Structure 1
Amino acid sequence: MEKGLVSIDRWVKGSQAYFLTHLHADHTRGLSPLWTLGPLFCSPITARLLPSRFPGLDSSLIRVLEIGLTHSITLISKCSGSEVHILVTPIDANHCPGAVMYLFRGEFGTVLHTGDFRWELDSERAQLARRNLLDALGGERVDLLYLDNTYCHPFFSFPTREVAAQQVVDFIKQHPNDEIIIAVDNLGKENLLVYISQALGVKIWVWPERLKTMHILGLDDIFTTDTSLTRVRAVPRYSFTLDTLEGLNTICPTIGIMPSGLTWGSLAFEKDIGYVGLSESEGHSGEKSKNNRKRSTNGNIKLAGDQIKPPWKFQEYSYSFPYSDHACFSEIQELMRTVLPKNVFGIVSASSFDIHPCHHFDNLNCELCTVSGSEISTKVRGNHLDASFRNKLNRRAVLHQNLNRSNVKCGRHLQPSASKTNRNEGCTEKG
């Protein structure tokens, strides 16, 4: 695609149309209430959330795209002055409220940008997203895939969020006399909190800004800012520290819960620690019976063929559960099988693991991958991590897991496809 037409999660001058995948901070750097560079395309939920996240943002710039429908956009080539017709289909990314993938089609080929996504094909929601994607593709392969490769490594294997949420519920039931705090971001993990509330019959405390978000999402009845009404609280991730937990425990017994997929990759290196996960052979084909999942009565999860594994206690008072809003490796495999990409970009390049997609999938044209082989971390040695590095990772990964993504430039100008090069060669953006 010609440079200067479309940008995704990139908020600088140079494009005619801007697309927002979701409202997490690492995808909105550069976006502000004063931003006026062009039309901003997003999902309906994101459009509802934007005014609270960026008060004063010019609402006339917002263009709402219904999920699952194909929309036609006409832009002007800066090189030839002629019209460029682009078909764009937003696909539910199942990551956080409002999150979408974008499928672009035109003379330039077919481009899929996943943003951040989860691909749990045993859920009806993900099955619908898959059908919408296949319908939009119409039997065509994806020429260029921008992939959420956060957990693109076989060591990242964890269960569906429903299974992990039930594990959290069982754990809370085992500690009836403890206050519970759960680390969450400004957006995301709502389904986990709702699941806990409904399973335990309690309200969930959230901070005032988060309560406003819940109201926008229509979740008024479940959440409160009155600490006297509940022992379960959702707190900002940045406030979830060992010092905070130690201080709370001087007042009353308090346990911290960190929902995260990051820790479970590092634990996979240690045979004696174990983790809750899906085997690669199980995958997420959408045909796996729910009967394959078994829940024990002591708060641990058993998956068919696996041993029962406890949640990981990574600090005093603190436990990590494998609840993730990013696709695990088997889900990435399933997406790759669905779209059969000819070229792949990983949108995440900062990681302690080898998450380069071209290192894990055969028959890919790796010329367009963002991370070269020389940039891959050498800390991984076979099936083991250097001990000092592993200890550092285990502590930092849980309490500061966003550090690995905080410096990543998620935004993209769409690149030209290798298989269908724009006729105006001099106007295309090179890798």
Structure 2
Amino acid sequence: MDEGLVSVDKFSGGSQVYFLTHLHLDHTRGLGASGGWRHGPLYCSPATARLLPIRFPGVDASLLRPVAAGASASLSLSSPNSGRPVSIHVTALPALHCPGSLMFLFRSDIGCMLYTGDFRWELGCDKARSAKKALLDALAGDTVDVLYLDNTYCHPSLNFPPRHVVAQQIVDIIRAHPDHEFILGIDTLGKEDLLLYIARALQTKIWVWPQRLLTIHLLGIDNNEEIFTTQTSLTRIRAVPRYALSIESLEALNTVCPTIGIMPSGSPWLWRNSEGKAKFSDKAPAKSSRCKGRGRGAGAIEMNYDPLSPPKLFEKDSYTLPYSDHACFLELEDFMQTVRPSAVVGIVRTSYCYVNPRGHFGHLCADEDEACTDNTPVKNDRHAGNSTPLKNSRHAGNSTPVKNGRHAGNSTPVKNGRHAGDSTPVKNGRHAGNSTPVKNGRHAGNSPPKRRPSALKTPRRRMVKISSPTLYRSRAIMMKRRHSCGAKIEEPEETIPFS
């Protein structure tokens, strides 16, 4: 399949059909561009379709294609290169991340691809069991060739209790402080189930800001119970935007009346600003010890937080509890065991620590020994893209000359007879084309020894491009873009082959 057919969570144009997994800001880049959305049909859940015109007034509603969880759609597209028809069958699956969140399963005559978006399928949860059954039914025994996985918490130290357990802990904290007011930090979308649980358990209303109340009504929540209000005098519990909950704001509120802040998040880590004041953040390194990953937070702090421990004061007048809408490590592992894809790619690149899911779950891939794709870094940078790894990184591609004349593509003879393309025998048996074994296994054609053929050897006409703003870039792609004609590096695009 040609490039430029389908884009998921990326809206910069250039594709024929677009898909939106959910309405969180990091998945909607490009929708708010000047002039509004006019690039093509946009598939999303019915709940997302109701919220889109409010969040992005410039979106042309006639381009929205609502598809409910469990429903399917058949797309008839055309190849931008050959003009030939291309058929893709898409199934929407519940992601259970926030209202309206979906996964998308893409199937065509050249393979199968699953894009999870942000999700959480809790172990033992009835909704998750139903979602898993729906996925297996949709696959009908087929193998997922490429799995795009939510790797937000892809580290063994990050395991959280079920959401209902944490919700009850929050209720217990509020009950234990009858004379305090409470501030909960939440997103502009998500954690509605938590607020409903608190309100029903305590038989109380919850304050939300006006825009949040509109979102709740558009989602069909609280139509009869009237749990949510914008009048502060009616309740001692307020849900505020997460950025508004800080140690400074709590200190100010406590000068008026006793107030406790609660941050329900899967990563409730504490950072300090330049003045030494503590503040909440969910952007800290995703490790329980010093983080050795990539990103500006790598190695910055140590964390002694145990997400399975009872709730405790995080700072004076504040609690943090691991209420996560992203899958924790054990849930990711269970998901990988269920899907068993041929290849897995992490969708989260804006992380303080680079966590490549193949490093933890490569043994659960059907093609465990498959050569690396552009998304998978190789030890010592021996492999970067479509090239064949050689000792000491002497080779980086099938057509790039290499220093000292060790290799100059598939057809150029090399000094001292070291390499003469795909068909010329080489002195001492070092190389004899694509079929002659080489002494010590140094080189046997264009494939590394003892590896199954890489999917990247697939002809270009059998490649599928899925564009997403959250995909990792390989080091090779970034360097190429950075040094080519001053091109601006924008959102990542990955080309994934199907076998």
Shorter-chain TM-score tier? 0.7 to 0.9
Which residue in 2 is equivalent to 1:6? 6
Q: Which amino acid aligns with 1:344?
A: V
Is residue 2:174 matched to residue 1:137? no
Letter of the aligned partner of 1:275 in structure 2?
A: D
Whether 2:129 is the aligned partner of 1:127: answer yes
Of the structure 1 ranges 358-367 and 46-55, higher mean CA displacement relative to structure 2 is found in 358-367
Report Cα offsets for 1:354-401 as digits up to 9, x if no partner.
52101112334472363636899xxxxxxxxxxxxxxxxxxxxxxxxx
Give the TM-score normalised by structure 1.
0.78
Q: Which residue of the other structure, out of 148, 158, 171, is the alignment partner of 1:169? A: 171
Number of aligned residue pairs? 360
Residue number in structure 2 paired with 1:405: none
3-state SS in 1 of match to 2:50:
helix
Aligned residue in 2 for 1:392: none
Q: Residue 331 of structure 2 aligns to a residue in which SS?
A: helix
Q: Which residue of 2 aligns with 1:284?
A: none
Local SS of the residue matching 1:219: coil
Give the number of the structure with larger relative contact order, counting CA–CA contacts within 8 Å between residues 6 or more apart. Answer: 1
Task: Kindly name which structure, 1 or 2, has the bigger radius of gyration based on alpha carbons.
Answer: 2
Q: How does 1:335-350 map to 2 (within 5 A)?
A: 335-350=335-350
Equivalent-residue separation in structure 2 for 1:196 and 1:182 (angstroms): 11
Contact preservation (8 Å) 1:343, 1:418: no
Distance 2:82 2:248 in 1: 60
- Structure 1 71/324 Cα, relative in aligned 2: closer, same or farther at 3 Å? same
SS at match of 2:182: strand
Structure 1: where are the runs of 5+ without partners? 278-308, 377-416
Deviations 1:28-68 (A, max 9, x none): 01102711000000011111111111124211000011211
Of 306, 312, 319 in structure 2, the residue corresponding to residue 275 of structure 1 is 306
1:58 and 1:80 mapped to 2: Cα distance? 30
Cα distance in 1 between the residues matched to 2:464 and 2:126: 43
1:226 and 2:257 are equivalent in the alignment: no
Distance 2:75 2:457 in 1: 20
Task: Mark the CA change 1:176 to 1:114 in structure 2 (over 3 Å): closer, same or farther.
Answer: same
- The match for 1:157 among 137, 147, 159 is 159
> 1:19-38, aligned counterparts within 5 Å?
19-32=19-32, 34-38=36-40
Instruction: Work out the CA distance in 1 between the residues paired with 2:157 and 2:201.
Output: 31
Q: Distance in 1 between matches of 2:247 and 2:140?
A: 51
Farther-moved stretch of structure 1 (309-318 vs 116-125): 309-318
Query: Which one of the candidate residues 61, 64, 88 is aligned to 1:62?
Result: 64
Change (3 A) 1:420 1:114: farther
Give the fraction of aligned pairs with identical amino acids, expressed as a percent. Answer: 54
2:306 counterpart letter in structure 1: Y
> Is this contact kept in 2: 1:44–1:98, CA < 8 A?
yes
Structure 2 gaps of 5+ residues are: 270-284, 291-301, 382-453, 466-493
Q: Which has the higher helix share?
A: 1
Q: Please tell me whether the aligned partners of residues 153 and 286 of structure 2 are also in contact (alpha carbons under 8 angstroms).
A: no
| Displacement after TM superposition at 1:121 (Å) | 3.5
SS across alignment from 2:268:
helix
In the alignment, residue 252 of structure 1 is paired with which amino acid? Answer: C
8 A Cα contact 2:110 2:462, kept in partner: no
Q: Which moved further from structure 2: 342-351 or 130-139? A: 342-351
Match of 2:268 among 263, 268, 271: 263
Q: CA deviation at 1:426?
A: 8.5
Corresponding residue for 1:76? 78
Tell me which of 212, 216, 219 is aligned to 2:218.
Answer: 216
Residue pair 2:153, 2:327 contacting (<8 A) in 1 also: yes
CA 1:134–1:420: 2 relative to 1, 3 Å = farther
Task: State the one-letter code of the partner of 1:362.
Answer: G
1:82 CA drift (Å): 1.0
Is 1:253 the equivalent of 2:258? yes
Q: Secondary structure at the match of 1:15?
A: coil
Q: Answer yes or no: is 1:180 the counterpart of 2:182.
A: yes
Matching of residue 195 in structure 1 with residue 197 in structure 2 = yes
Letter in 2 for 1:95: H
Residue 368 (structure 1) aligns with: 373
Matching residue of 1:242: 247
Cα distance in 1 for residues equivalent to 2:378 and 2:181: 46
Is the 1:9–1:21 contact (alpha carbons within 8 Å) kept by the matching residues of 2? Answer: yes
